[in-house]
Structure 1
Amino acid sequence: MFKKLQPHDYRHLKPWFDGQLYPLCPYSLASMMIWSGCLHEAFWREDGGTLFLSEVDIEDKSRRRMLLPLLRPFRYPTPRELAEAARALDFPGYHYVPQDYVEIIGADNLCCYFTLQEEDGYGDYVYSAADLALLKGHKYSKKRNLIAQFLKACGPAAAVKPLEGECLHACLQLFDHWEKVKGGPVIEAIPNCERKAIVNALEHFKELEMSGVAVELDGRMAGFAFGSRLTADTWTLNFEKADPGVKGLYQYLDSEAAKAAPPGYSVLNKENDLGLPGLKKAKESYFPTRVIKSYILTLKS
């Protein structure tokens, strides 16, 4: 039986994720937990040496999917194992299947059991943490110039602090201001979804081992960014919001967030672009080292 994923499950489930190698952001345990209850509910099930993970849409419960299972010790499941599990658990297939898995296992081998389709808008942008922290080289000259403008205008008033879960009210005030200036939610069809995930994250910040930074201007919250563990070397930046009326603040916040990534994480995953041209342009402007494609595997009848 699948159990609903709850923040109090984090400590119990964490060992399953310690050695996992799936590089897409849906495989961050903290990320799974904070987004559950927004558009979908997330579920888990242990079966011997395998952890099965699934999602069910809240508005249409017929829309159900599994993520790739986690095996302990970690290894990639075979296509046959995936097909047998999907049939046994009565799921049509798997979403968020990383490009790396498809390339290692082989598309031809997967297509013996599944149809394979790229999941548009769900490819993750991956960066060198050092590149984003230091912004060295000609390609980042525009970013450095914007930061210089911000520091010239606001430097004495700016303070960077570790983000604490107690900042919830200030973060939500800033988010509401950001959304109002932007003219509404990022995706109109899912209002309040992102806000709800931010609330989930900040209410369980320490419990989910999340961390981040806040930028204050004269004591007022002007920007925040925080993330969670994905793999042994990759930190996922789950949220990043700043006052859009302050020139250069976003670039400054982005650099500070990269500097604040916990020790040992050399890679930053800044999630996907949801197929939105503006978000795609913004993520590409930081020169990702990779964009990891996401695929859907649908069982053949």
Structure 2
Amino acid sequence: MKFRKISIQDYNELVPYFKNQKYPLCSYSLPSLLSWQTKAYHPVAALEADSLIIAADYIHQTELRHLILPLSPERDWTPEELHKLCLDSGFPAIWFVPETWLEKVDQEALQNFFTVEEQSAYTDYIYAKEDLAELKGRKYAKKRNLISQFERNFSEDRIDIRSITKEDTPECLDFLEEWCRERKCDRDPEADMACEKIAAANAIELIDNTEFRGLRLSLDGRLVAFGIGNRLTADMGVLHFEKAMGSVKGLYQYFDRECCRRLFSEDILFINKESDMDEPGLAHAKSSYYPIRKEKSFVLTLL
């Protein structure tokens, strides 16, 4: 099986394999797959009959090399077929296997070929879009109060919120650098936050050429927040990146509400806000928006 590195130049060729994509984990977003590339890691792909096979190739941490579930608009793969795929490809594990997939598959066949382990760091938080866009009810009272404080401090004429265009790229990249300095995310170039910074920068560059949609917010002419999302499944969107200056009280809560109102079409009923990477602070922040469920991720490893 011959794999090749994939990039934005391959986008139009790969899109058909994501038609009717039904896996609810954020890892199955094509624009996101193309965004997450660093000097140490890049996605590779191969075609096998009617399916697209995507793998993560690591230059140094070779023990992390893995496949994700094959993507096909026509069919699902059986455990036996996945076993053969791992052997033929040289990748010993399949990451980001949704719990919904595990529930449907032949368990006896699966256990004949793989060990199954939960990846708690990659459990995605799923929300009802209406909850995030409206913030109704007592449980969201603190969010509404913070938004009210923000709106009292900044009149409408001081707030500029609109879609990100190609012309906004330099300004968005400069803001991303400022956001990272605030959080010292460049201290370790291999750490999650540093890698996420690279992915977010790549995503900004891809907005005009993919299904990514971006939203930006400026206060008094200064960019202070941006968000990027896209469709994941027939009724679910994913909010991949959402950055806001922490020094402005209520800004994040206001901007998050606007992202959920503006970035996703009416037929999107659910929003995936990705995982917490087992970081307690991030887990608390995501839980404070009351997800309707958490979509667990599992890894299948060859026996």
When the two structures are superposed, what TM-score results if normalisation uses the length of structure 2? 0.93
Matches within 5 A, 1:158-169: 158-169=159-170
**Residues 1:39 and 1:267: Cα distance change in structure 2 (over 3 Å):** farther
- Gaps of at least 5 residues in structure 2 are none
Matches within 5 A, 1:159-238: 159-185=160-186, 189-190=190-191, 192-238=194-240
Please state if 1:111 is matched with 2:111: yes
1:133–1:256 CA contact under 8 A, matched in 2: yes
1:163: how far off? 1.6
Q: Which residue does the alignment assign to 1:295?
A: 298
When the two structures are superposed, what TM-score results if normalisation uses the length of structure 1? 0.94
1:192: how far off? 3.4
Matches within 5 A, 1:250-269: 250-263=252-265, 264-269=267-272
Partner secondary structure for residue 221 of structure 1: strand
2:180–2:197 CA contact under 8 A, matched in 1: no
1:96–1:295 CA contact under 8 A, matched in 2: yes
2:19–2:73 CA contact under 8 A, matched in 1: no
Q: Percent identity?
A: 37
User: Which residue type is aligned with residue 76 of structure 2?
Assistant: Y
CA distance in 2, matches of 1:60, 1:188: 14
Once structures 1 and 2 are overlaid, which stretch shifts more, 57-66 or 115-124? Answer: 57-66
Once structures 1 and 2 are overlaid, which stretch shifts more, 56-65 or 223-232? Answer: 56-65
Once structures 1 and 2 are overlaid, which stretch shifts more, 256-265 or 145-154? Answer: 256-265
1:127: how far off? 0.7
Partner secondary structure for residue 112 of structure 2: coil
Richer in helix (by share): 2
Q: Which residue does the alignment assign to 2:19?
A: 18
CA distance in 2, matches of 1:282, 1:187: 23
CA distance in 2, matches of 1:271, 1:167: 25
Partner secondary structure for residue 16 of structure 1: helix
CA distance in 2, matches of 1:186, 1:129: 35
- Gaps of at least 5 residues in structure 1 are none
1:137: how far off? 1.0
User: Which residue type is aligned with residue 112 of structure 1?
Assistant: N
1:272 to 269, 272, 275: 275
1:36: how far off? 2.3
CA distance in 1, matches of 2:187, 2:260: 23
**Residues 1:106 and 1:187: Cα distance change in structure 2 (over 3 Å):** farther
Partner secondary structure for residue 20 of structure 1: coil
CA RMSD between the two structures? 1.8
Q: Which residue does the alignment assign to 2:47?
A: 46
CA distance in 2, matches of 1:91, 1:205: 31
CA deviation map 1:20-40 (0-9, x unaligned): 211111100000000023652
CA distance in 2, matches of 1:162, 1:233: 22
CA distance in 2, matches of 1:282, 1:49: 41
Partner secondary structure for residue 252 of structure 1: helix
Q: Which residue does the alignment assign to 2:38?
A: 37
User: Which residue type is aligned with residue 55 of structure 1?
Assistant: A
Q: Which residue does the alignment assign to 2:132?
A: 132
**Residues 1:259 and 1:187: Cα distance change in structure 2 (over 3 Å):** farther
1:70: how far off? 1.3
CA distance in 2, matches of 1:71, 1:177: 40
**Residues 1:71 and 1:153: Cα distance change in structure 2 (over 3 Å):** same
2:69–2:97 CA contact under 8 A, matched in 1: yes
1:30–1:229 CA contact under 8 A, matched in 2: no
CA deviation map 1:27-58 (0-9, x unaligned): 00000000023652101111211111100123
User: Which residue type is aligned with residue 272 of structure 1?
Assistant: S
CA deviation map 1:191-226 (0-9, x unaligned): 632222122112121211211211110111011111
CA distance in 2, matches of 1:39, 1:151: 43
Q: Which residue does the alignment assign to 1:284?
A: 287
